[in-house]
Amino acid sequence: MQSTKRDTASWQAADKAHFIHPFTDGASLHKEGTRIITGGEGVWIRDNDDNVLLDGMAGLWCVNAGYGQPKLIEAASEQLKSLAYYNAFFHTAVPSSIELAELLAEVSPAQFKRVYYSNSGSEGNDTVIRLVRHYWDLVGKPERKTLIARNFAYHGSTIGGASLSGMPWMHAQGDLPIPGIVHIEQPHYEALGSGLTREQFGLKAASWLEEKIIEVGPENVAAFIAEPVQGAGGVVVPPSSYWPEIQRICRKYDILLVSDEVICGFGRTGNWWGCQTFGYEPDLMTFAKGVTSGYVPLGGVMVSDRVADVVENGGIFNHGYTYSGHPVACAVGVANVKLLIQEKIVDYVREDAGPYLAEKLATLNDHPLVGYTDGIGLMWAIQIVKDKSTNALFDYDKQVNAICREFARKNGLIIRAIVNDRMIIAPPLVISRAEIDRVVEITR
Ligand code: PLP
């Protein structure tokens, strides 16, 4: 049953009175009025006044299978009817959580056969912090506590996730990061690579990890965590030399490598996992979003044999969530992963939709406001510039971006404005060529 029908002004008044929105300036939200979204089909969403918009952001980079997929809806409904909840603590499990674990192992690199469930990416990364420290305790190296992450990374907004994140405005609120988390620069060629080729810069950016390891002391470092492609930090695609060198450095110092696949996982870069696109083998992978295409909350950590063998034989890991392995979330996860497999959606991103979007976005390069485009698969950034010859940014990046975003929305397209004057496009993976044409047309 749907919520009661009301006119938009009535929803907005109730929203203003009772609802505090995440990552939102309340004053400007309520001046504009909250947009009330009531429906979705494929790549399209509908608001309370029946305006239809093309969702070029797949919600928050999560609705990989598109809206309204009957198989996902049926899976949720069937599971709710048979067993809405049971826990995975204390020697019990439900079939959907086991079946999803089995499927996740099937679509993951060979070192991953086991999963630890959470409800979100933030909780997944909190789990990572505790899991890597627990692992090092169990193997007799308890001093290995420090996690190295990157500036402008986004790993979530719990205290752990926000600490791993490298957003200064998040650290400024709540006295973060927590002790034992340090950051290095991101591999952002256009911003930091002056005088170097892309590949030279990739090696240089990886060397910042080695410098940080030496500064902290290799014997104190537990793990390095990063997104294959930084998402909320601006869709910064690293040079191809970067990740293999990062892996070499982690192996040299015996440091666990954690790939935060919350955005990149489940096909967004054209493979099941971003680490496959960039050619590295992590010890842990965080996931969320695309595992259920956002239909219900679910996240987790894929745990490699190296770590899982130790933790499974190390007594109780005193960690978990009431909803770890939630039956309904896992049933939707099963239906979603099966759909991605059966419909060959990951191949479609790699071989068709991704290259087609890249080709179409390249046609924007002659636009006076476009510096360049950066991306892979179905995650792309358009760099908005004030001066094309120098790639200089506008002075008031948030305002400029807000203008671009609002202009797109008024013309029927949701795209997102992000740090450093970048407009982001990350549509559902099922987007058709004709819909990609529409995205690029409105963007221009
Ligand atoms: N990690 C990455 C790479 C993300 O992009 C996000 C969310 O956008 C998170 C973690 C946090 O996930 P959640 O919002 O589900 O807690």
* Pairwise CA distance, residues 317 & 302, whole Å: 16
- Once rounded to an integer, what is the mean pLDDT over residues 32-41? 95
- Once rounded to an integer, what is the mean pLDDT over residues 12-38? 93
The pLDDT of residue 49 is 96
Under 8 Å between Cβ of 186 and 236: yes
By 3-state DSSP, what share of the chain in percent is helix, strand and coil, each rounded to 5?
A: 45, 20, 40
Distance 376 CA to ligand 1 centre (A): 19
How many C-beta neighbours within 10 Å does residue 230 have?
Answer: 26
What is 42-57+344-443's CATH superfamily? Aspartate Aminotransferase, domain 1 (3.90.1150.10)
- Has residue 402 got a pLDDT over 90? no
Residue holding tokens 């671009």? 404
| Ligand 1 neighbourhood includes 121 CB (under 6 angstroms) | yes
- Once rounded to an integer, what is the mean pLDDT over residues 394-423? 81
**In the chain, where are the structural domains located?**
42-57+344-443, 72-342
Under 8 Å between Cβ of 73 and 314: no
Ligand 1 atom, smallest distance to 125 CA: 10
Strand 52-55 relative to strand 44-47: parallel, antiparallel, unpaired?
A: antiparallel
| Ligand 1 neighbourhood includes 360 CB (under 6 angstroms) | no
Under 8 Å between Cβ of 21 and 390: no
* pLDDT-wise least confident of 20-34, 46-60, 395-409: 395-409
What is the 3-class SS of 401-424, one letter each residue? HHHHHHHHHHCCEECEEECCCEEE
| Ligand 1 neighbourhood includes 299 CB (under 6 angstroms) | yes
| Ligand 1 neighbourhood includes 225 CB (under 6 angstroms) | no
For the chain, give the percent of residues with pLDDT over 70: 98
| Ligand 1 neighbourhood includes 152 CB (under 6 angstroms) | no
For the chain, give the percent of residues with pLDDT over 90: 89
Ligand 1 atom, smallest distance to 299 CA: 15
- Has residue 397 got a pLDDT over 90? no
Ligand 1, atom 13: closest residue by C-alpha: 121
| Ligand 1 neighbourhood includes 231 CB (under 6 angstroms) | yes
The pLDDT of residue 396 is 57
The pLDDT of residue 372 is 92
| Ligand 1 neighbourhood includes 379 CB (under 6 angstroms) | no
- Has residue 32 got a pLDDT over 90? no
- Has residue 8 got a pLDDT over 70? yes
pLDDT digits (tens, 9 = 90+) for 325-352: 999 999 999 999 999 999 999 999 999 9
- Has residue 1 got a pLDDT over 80? no
Given pLDDT bands bounded at 50, 70 and 90, which one contains residue 421?
confident
Phi-psi category of 140—alpha, beta or left, where left has phi over 0 and alpha has psi -120 to 50?
left
- Once rounded to an integer, what is the mean pLDDT over residues 240-250? 98
- Has residue 211 got a pLDDT over 70? yes
- Has residue 22 got a pLDDT over 60? yes
- Once rounded to an integer, what is the mean pLDDT over residues 37-65? 97
| 354-380 per-residue burial string, b: 16 or more CB within 10 A, e: under 16 | bebbbebbeeeeeeebbbebbbbbbbb
Distance 49 CA to ligand 1 centre (A): 30
Residue 434's Cβ-count burial label (10 Å; 0-12, 13-18, 19+) is exposed
Residues with Cβ within 8 Å of 114's Cβ and at least 6 positions away in sequence, in order, are 101, 105, 302, 303, 305, 308, 312
- Has residue 388 got a pLDDT over 90? no
* Pairwise CA distance, residues 343 & 191, whole Å: 39
| Ligand 1 neighbourhood includes 150 CB (under 6 angstroms) | no
Given pLDDT bands bounded at 50, 70 and 90, which one contains residue 265?
very high
The domain at 72-342 falls in which architecture? Answer: 3-Layer(aba) Sandwich (3.40)
Distance 6 CA to ligand 1 centre (A): 32
Distance 150 CA to ligand 1 centre (A): 15
- Has residue 108 got a pLDDT over 90? yes
CA 342 to chain CA mean position, Å: 23
* Pairwise CA distance, residues 364 & 53, whole Å: 21
- Has residue 184 got a pLDDT over 60? yes
- Report the mean per-residue pLDDT for the chain: 95
| Ligand 1 neighbourhood includes 221 CB (under 6 angstroms) | no
The pLDDT of residue 398 is 58
Given pLDDT bands bounded at 50, 70 and 90, which one contains residue 61?
very high
Instruction: Provide the residue type at 396 as one letter.
Output: Y
User: In terms of Cα–Cα distance, which of 339, 336, 330 is closest to 101?
Assistant: 330
The pLDDT of residue 419 is 80
- Has residue 377 got a pLDDT over 60? yes
- Has residue 401 got a pLDDT over 70? no
* Pairwise CA distance, residues 225 & 151, whole Å: 11
